[in-house]
Structure 1
């Protein structure tokens, strides 16, 4: 199977909207609003077009990933650090389990590094994201602004020591609907 990872084209959003909806339709741990979230995030200053990526299989869009700019706020030391949030990664049901999500994640990581970002946070499955180097954010003294099990609140250093000396709470854009 030939999988091609690339930046989303201006003609892709309608296809991506439906792809995300279908990918999360039967997901147990979902509010089933991921497609709406992406539409909202596209209109924000935190949206980075290069990190809105699709996976094509034989010319068909089969997967999507979005990394959005966020901040880690250290209120105690009055500092803010730029990071990225992975939300969502989505693969059409008929293409799931074929490594497409993993290729999207690795491709997005590479572009994020090229753009100068040092870390990515994700709220996700504790048995999936560690395959890509994600660890509980608490390892670095980083908290998420909601009550979710620690093993689901993860972070990845994209470059060595990019999280050195960084601690605080993840602050999402308001479109995520999270109050931090």
Structure 2
């Protein structure tokens, strides 16, 4: 979990990476990402996402998935998940379920993503 705080210590942005199953392997899901309305369009979202992805890379993770706007997440290198032979459990418009292969990615994991149980409650 990565947070951004203002100069008073108030949390103004957040990005969370959650472990999930990808086929027979494991990956990370980038969700949720949130920025306080008054801080949107000021680079806070980009800051917390880039920090979370850097931490995942440093930890030796291979693959991150995200469900979101391809124009927004494309700036971080996310591409449609089917290009990595990864699929999501949700019916969404084509291109909205995306993957980011980190430097250690060797084609695995691939397959259907299974999110942790708490994701099913929302």
Same-fold status (TM-score > 0.5): yes
Task: Give the aligned length.
Answer: 120
Gaps of 5+ in 1: 1-51, 74-79
**Aligned-CA RMSD value:** 1.5
TM-score (norm 1): 0.63
> Which structure carries more helix by proportion?
1
> Which structure carries more strand by proportion?
2
Q: Is the 8 A contact 1:125 1:152 kept in 2?
A: yes
Q: Which of the residues 136, 139, 143 maps onto 2:83?
A: 139
Q: Does 1:171 align with 2:120?
A: no
**CA distance, structure 2, for counterparts of residue 92 and residue 165 of structure 1:** 36
Q: Is the 8 A contact 1:72 1:171 kept in 2?
A: yes
Partner of 1:53: 2
Instruction: Tell me which structure has the larger Cα radius of gyration.
Output: 1
Higher relative CO (Cα under 8 Å, sequence separation at least 6) belongs to 2
Q: Is the 8 A contact 1:140 1:163 kept in 2?
A: no
**CA distance, structure 2, for counterparts of residue 56 and residue 163 of structure 1:** 36
Gaps of 5+ in 2: none
